[in-house]
């Protein structure tokens, strides 16, 4: 049976893994290559590296970090942040990424999705959507870009559909309302996007407990769930590596998981 | 030396890295002479079946000669699909025809592409899959799949059963990506290096 995926995300700034709350207050969490390997060995099904300051500071993705990290892991590896052109994407693939995640650049020039998918295949293109709805219904969630600083006026559901039509292989949906809060994924929004597209949806933003993953895989109809801080800093009250413990809990809840790894 | 055939399909560097992590010496090449000199040949791949056009043009003969000579051959993803007669993804592009049948798209009732970790059902007796536990998970990313044939070594269920691995003499194919499948995948590459 096709398993649900647990994806460990490394938010990288200037070559170090950091994590903030609602895109602010960054906190150091270690070396990307070492953390990626530790997460993969503990059972992460995929690793995502996001160069979080690349877009706003106008820098390109840290190619050396990508190269170093990719040498240490033998699970799928995605890189995002600062990828604006086909050449930027090619450079990241050349450094060892299996997929790229594009966000602001895809909104600014949606043809970039077709360009990258045309050359590297749809399986290599993840369109990341940062969405915010406050207390509005899921259908009203809006797309934000530039690390959550700019409002686009686009609706998340329509943009997800367009991304699929243009050749995206997966959607990485981040709830800005929940990101970094640990209060749980936005299951309602995730389910709405999952129903709107036929490609896999990765839920992100808000993971704080194992139960949140159970919810997003059932009520949220997510194909994968991504988290950062709880994997770096551990589940509350736990000494074990969070991913192994999380997967055991999910298996116990009847969620199909690759476990033991 | 293991020749990793470069015919314009993606994901080649990760195959090289995985083989090298196991102590293998691998070379990414589009040179028929390098393929002829290699002890083992890998045709990796991810992407559209039409990419096999370039494989069919300059590289078909050296690759088929390596197979005929009995050198261990491994096709990965599209590289495995190429071992069949063809694919409805690109009907004008012929495959090698070493296995009967044609690759076809997943039915509409399941999400496509099939992305993620899925289990294999082993049929037993495979040399490539030696030491792999039944129902192990491997990483897949594809929209087309190969039919189940007599030489199918492992099956996966997704919108029906398809060939996860095929094996005939020293010709091996896997639909999943062993280079991206953690310890279970590395075990298979290690087995391939020891054939």
- Closest by Cβ to B116, choosing from A120, A124, A223: A223
Q: Does A170 touch chain B (CB under 8 A)?
A: yes
Mark A204-227 as b/e (b = at least 16 C-beta within 10 Å): bbbbbbbebbbbbbeebbbbbbbb
Average pLDDT of the segment spanning A63-73: 91
CB neighbourhood size of B38 (10 A): 22
- Among this protein's residues, is B77 annotated catalytic? yes
Contact between A55 and A86 (Cβ < 8 Å): no
Which parts of chain B sit beneath pLDDT 50? none
How many percent of chain A have pLDDT more than 70?
Answer: 89
Closest CA to A227 of A3, A5, A8: A8
- Closest by Cβ to B137, choosing from A93, A224, A258: A258
List active site positions of A.
Answer: 11, 130
Better-scored residue on pLDDT, A27 or A41? A41
Whole-angstrom Cα distance, residue A91 to residue B157? 35
Whole-angstrom Cα distance, residue A73 to residue A88? 22
CB neighbourhood size of A34 (10 A): 13
Better-scored residue on pLDDT, A120 or B94? B94
- Among this protein's residues, is B193 annotated catalytic? no
Better-scored residue on pLDDT, A45 or B11? A45
Average pLDDT of the segment spanning A188-201: 97
| End-to-end Cα distance, chain B | 13
N residues, chain B: 195
How is domain A5-252 classified at the architecture level of CATH?
Alpha-Beta Barrel (3.20)
Contact between B107 and B159 (Cβ < 8 Å): yes
Better-scored residue on pLDDT, A22 or B90? B90
- Is residue A58 very low, low, confident or very high in pLDDT (cuts 50, 70, 90)? very low
Q: Is the pLDDT reported for residue A244 higher than 80?
A: yes
CB-defined contacts A:B, below 8 A: 84
Q: Does B111 touch chain A (CB under 8 A)?
A: yes
Quick check: pTM over 0.90? yes
R_g of chain A, CA atoms, integer Å: 17
Q: Is the pLDDT reported for residue A238 higher than 60?
A: no
Q: Is the pLDDT reported for residue A27 higher than 70?
A: no
The catalytic residue among B114, B142, B177, B193 is: B177
Tens of pLDDT, residues A144-181 = 998 889 999 999 999 999 999 999 999 999 999 999 88
Whole-angstrom Cα distance, residue A75 to residue B176? 12
| Averaged pLDDT of chain A | 89
- Closest by Cβ to B182, choosing from A75, A96, A122: A75
**pLDDT number for residue B48:** 79
Whole-angstrom Cα distance, residue B73 to residue B78? 14
Query: What is the domain range of residue B81?
Result: 2-194
Q: Is the pLDDT reported for residue A103 higher than 90?
A: yes
Q: Are strands B171-174 and B102-105 parallel, antiparallel or unpaired?
A: unpaired
What ipTM does this complex have? 0.92
Q: Does B17 touch chain A (CB under 8 A)?
A: yes
Q: Is the pLDDT reported for residue A22 higher than 80?
A: no
- Is residue A231 very low, low, confident or very high in pLDDT (cuts 50, 70, 90)? confident
- B120, A74, A208, A15 alpha-carbon torsion, rounded to 10°: -170
Domain ranges (residues) in chain A:
5-252
| End-to-end Cα distance, chain A | 15
Which CATH number do you get for residue B182? Answer: 3.40.50.880
Query: Cβ–Cβ of B111/A199 closer than 8 Å?
Result: yes
Q: Does B182 touch chain A (CB under 8 A)?
A: yes
User: Count of domains in chain B?
Assistant: 1
């Amino acid at each position: 049976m096709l398993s649900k995926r647990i994806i460990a995300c490394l938010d990288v700034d200037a070559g170090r893994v950091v994590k903030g709350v609602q895109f602010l207050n960054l906190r150091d969490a270690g070396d990307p290559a070492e953390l990626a390997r530790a997460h993969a060995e503990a059972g992460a099904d995929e690793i995502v590296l996001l160069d979080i300051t690349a877009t706003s500071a106008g820098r390109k993705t840290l190619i050396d970090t990508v190269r170093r990290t990719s040498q240490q892991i033998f699970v799928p590896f995605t890189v995002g942040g600062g990828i604006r052109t086909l050449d930027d994407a090619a450079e990241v693939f050349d450094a060892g990424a299996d997929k790229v995640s594009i966000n602001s650049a895809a909104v600014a020039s949606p043809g970039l999705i077709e360009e990258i998918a045309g050359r590297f295949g749809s399986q290599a293109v993840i369109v990341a959507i940062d969405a915010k709805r406050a207390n509005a219904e899921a259908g009203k969630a809006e797309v934000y870009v530039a690390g959550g600083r700019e409002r686009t006026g686009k609706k998340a559901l329509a943009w997800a559909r367009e991304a699929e039509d243009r050749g995206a292989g997966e959607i990485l949906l981040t709830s800005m309302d929940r990101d970094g809060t640990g209060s749980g994924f936005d299951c309602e929004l995730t389910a709405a996007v999952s129903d709107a597209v036929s490609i896999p949806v990765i839920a992100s933003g808000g993971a704080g407990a194992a139960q949140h993953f159970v919810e997003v895989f059932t009520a949220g109809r997510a194909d994968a769930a991504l988290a950062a801080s709880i994997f770096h800093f551990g589940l509350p009250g736990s000494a074990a590596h969070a991913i192994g413990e999380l997967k055991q809990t999910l298996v116990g809840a009847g969620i199909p998981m690759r476990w033991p790894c | 030396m293991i020749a990793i055939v470069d015919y314009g399909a993606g994901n080649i560097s990760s195959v090289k890295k995985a083989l090298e992590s196991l102590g293998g010496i691998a070379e990414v090449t589009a040179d028929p002479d390098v393929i002829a000199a290699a002890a083992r040949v890998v045709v990796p791949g991810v992407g559209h079946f039409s990419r096999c056009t370039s494989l069919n043009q300059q590289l078909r003969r050296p690759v088929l000669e390596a197979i005929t000579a009995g050198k261990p051959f491994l096709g990965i993803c599209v590289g495995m699909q190429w071992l069949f007669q063809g694919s409805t993804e690109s009907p004008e592009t012929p495959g090698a025809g070493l296995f009967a049948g044609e690759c076809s798209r997943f039915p509409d009732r399941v999400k496509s592409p099939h992305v993620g970790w899925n289990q294999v059902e082993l049929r037993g007796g495979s040399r490539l899959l030696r030491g792999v536990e039944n129902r192990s998970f491997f990483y897949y990313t594809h929209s087309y799949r190969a039919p189940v044939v007599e030489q199918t070594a492992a099956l996966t269920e997704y919108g029906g059963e398809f060939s996860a691995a095929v094996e005939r003499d020293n010709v091996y194919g896997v639909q999943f990506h062993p280079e991206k499948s953690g310890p279970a995948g590395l075990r298979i590459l290690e087995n391939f290096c020891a054939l």
